[in-house]
């Protein structure tokens, strides 16, 4: 497997003024590293404001990073300019959270799938562009007669399919999906997730899949990163994370997912809301809400390190991975 997207020590800071006129730094994303292989799915989960959408925008080069390195298909995203940048950008596409605002209300949806081909001057003729867009309509399960319709004439699920077709028409190697199903009701959302899995099997692109919904991420992702206050606090295969979370924050998120057996019983209710990232708590940033916190947690920042089952966790109490047997 080859690495498609490699992100190292990514950070994004914003200067802010507090009520007293004091200038402070908001650490929206703070030292995030991950890599994503071709054709695979990395899910990023966490509460709103944890930095997951900012991470997506940084990875796509839509927002300049304060620090860090992003390589896509072996090229540094941040260093490219103009034509090289446009060529690379075509290979990484964003799928929005809200299909209605992402689409142009005044244009038929078919035209909006053709548009990227026109912008990037792909295909030989207008007819070839139309045929390609129609093939994508078919691939995402939209009837050809919807091609001339306007966004408001389509259902939410159909609009999300249009957005997928529009992203896929450029044959990207990566789709960054920021809460792609959060505006849809449960049964439609499930259909879109199934469709996304089918499309990945067929076209082979990788997904960076951002969601606050751990259950959905578990279904679609090969690897999951849990973010809290701008940092990854746990990362690993979804089943391991679900069955034996190594970080108390992951444990709380997992406990909030109702199961048929226990319903919502056993849910860990965290104290308070996530702190303001301008006033990042000392030591482990999760300590004011952590049911397991000990004295050390207030002072020492836990680093993300290998723990059991091929996972990484940033918690002082997580047992280290067993040492590899000497060769």
Contacting positions for ligand SF4 (CB under 6 A): 247-248, 284, 286-287, 290, 292-293, 297, 302, 315-317
Q: Is 53 in the site for Mg ion (CB under 5 A)?
A: yes
Tokens (6 digits) for 275: 């702190």
Query: Which of Mg ion, ligand SF4, none has residue 297 at its interface (CB below 5 to 8 Å by kind)?
Result: ligand SF4
Query: Which of ligand SF4, Mg ion, none has residue 53 at its interface (CB below 5 to 8 Å by kind)?
Result: Mg ion
Least CB distance to ligand SF4 at residue 127 (A): 59
Contact 273, 261 (CB under 8 A): no
- Which of residues 277 and 302 has its CB atom nearest to Mg ion in the complex? 277
- Which of residues 54 and 158 has its CB atom nearest to Mg ion in the complex? 54
Distance of CA 293 to the CA centre of its chain: 28
- Which of residues 142 and 214 has its CB atom nearest to ligand SF4 in the complex? 214
Angle (nearest 5°) at CA 309 between 216 and 28 = 55
Distance of CA 299 to the CA centre of its chain: 30
Least CB distance to ligand SF4 at residue 286 (A): 5
Residue nearest to Mg ion (CB): 53
- Which of residues 151 and 230 has its CB atom nearest to ligand SF4 in the complex? 230
- Which of residues 41 and 53 has its CB atom nearest to Mg ion in the complex? 53
Interface segment toward Mg ion; rule CB under 5 A; list 37-45, 47-55, 128-136, 149-157: 47-55
Query: Which of Mg ion, ligand SF4, none has residue 12 at its interface (CB below 5 to 8 Å by kind)?
Result: none
Contact 203, 174 (CB under 8 A): no
Least CB distance to ligand SF4 at residue 70 (A): 28
Tokens (6 digits) for 108: 């038929």
Least CB distance to Mg ion at residue 307 (A): 28
Tokens (6 digits) for 147: 């091609």
- Which of residues 53 and 112 has its CB atom nearest to Mg ion in the complex? 53
- Cβ-Cβ contacts under 8 Å for 39 (sequence gap 6 or more): 1, 200, 204, 205, 206
- Which of residues 53 and 255 has its CB atom nearest to Mg ion in the complex? 53
Contact 288, 275 (CB under 8 A): yes
Q: Where are the beta strands (DSSP E) in 18-134?
A: 23-37, 41-45, 67-72, 75-76, 92-95
Distance CA 301, CA 314 (A): 8
- Which of residues 109 and 252 has its CB atom nearest to ligand SF4 in the complex? 252
Q: Is 41 in the site for Mg ion (CB under 5 A)?
A: no
Least CB distance to Mg ion at residue 53 (A): 3
Tokens (6 digits) for 281: 């708590």
Sort strands 311-313 and 305-307 into parallel, antiparallel or unpaired. Answer: antiparallel
Query: Which of Mg ion, ligand SF4, none has residue 28 at its interface (CB below 5 to 8 Å by kind)?
Result: none
Least CB distance to ligand SF4 at residue 285 (A): 8
- Cβ-Cβ contacts under 8 Å for 261 (sequence gap 6 or more): none
Q: Is 54 in the site for Mg ion (CB under 5 A)?
A: no
Least CB distance to ligand SF4 at residue 275 (A): 13
Tokens (6 digits) for 143: 């009837």
- Cβ-Cβ contacts under 8 Å for 111 (sequence gap 6 or more): none
Sort strands 206-211 and 174-178 into parallel, antiparallel or unpaired. Answer: parallel
Query: Which of Mg ion, ligand SF4, none has residue 311 at its interface (CB below 5 to 8 Å by kind)?
Result: none
Q: Residue 207 pairs with which residues in a beta bridge?
A: 41, 175
Least CB distance to Mg ion at residue 49 (A): 8
Give the residues lining the site for Mg ion (CB under 5 A).
Answer: 53
């Amino acid at each position: 497997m080859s690495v498609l997207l490699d992100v190292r020590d990514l950070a994004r800071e914003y200067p802010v003024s507090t009520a007293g006129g004091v200038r402070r730094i908001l650490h929206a994303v703070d030292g995030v590293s991950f890599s994503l292989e071709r054709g695979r799915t990395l899910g990023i989960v966490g509460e709103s404001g944890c930095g997951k959408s900012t991470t997506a925008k940084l990875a796509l080069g839509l927002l300049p990073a304060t620090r860090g390195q992003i390589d896509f298909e072996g090229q540094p995203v941040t260093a490219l300019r103009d034509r090289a940048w446009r060529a690379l950008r075509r290979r990484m596409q964003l799928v929005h959270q809200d299909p209605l605002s992402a689409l142009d209300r005044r244009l038929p949806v078919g035209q909006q799938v053709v548009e990227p081909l026109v912008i990037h001057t792909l295909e030989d003729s207008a007819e070839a562009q139309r045929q390609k867009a129609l093939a994508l309509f078919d691939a995402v399960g939209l009837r050809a007669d919807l091609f001339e319709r306007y966004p408001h004439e389509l259902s939410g699920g159909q609009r999300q399919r249009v957005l997928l077709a529009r992203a896929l028409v450029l044959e990207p190697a990566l789709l960054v999906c920021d809460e792609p199903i959060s505006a849809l009701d449960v049964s439609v959302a499930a259909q879109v997730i199934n469709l996304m899995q089918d499309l990945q099997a067929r076209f082979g692109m990788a997904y960076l899949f951002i969601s606050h919904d751990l259950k959905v991420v578990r279904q679609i992702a090969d690897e999951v990163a849990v973010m809290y206050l701008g940092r990854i606090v746990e990362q690993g295969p979804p089943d391991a994370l679900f069955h034996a979370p190594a970080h108390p924050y992951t444990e709380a998120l997992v406990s909030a997912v109702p199961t048929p057996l226990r319903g919502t019983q056993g849910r860990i209710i965290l104290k308070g809301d996530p702190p303001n990232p301008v006033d990042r708590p000392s030591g482990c940033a999760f300590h004011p809400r952590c049911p397991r916190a000990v004295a050390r947690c207030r002072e020492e920042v836990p680093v993300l390190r290998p723990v059991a089952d091929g996972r990484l966790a940033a918690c002082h109490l997580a047992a280290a991975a067993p040492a590899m047997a000497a060769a």
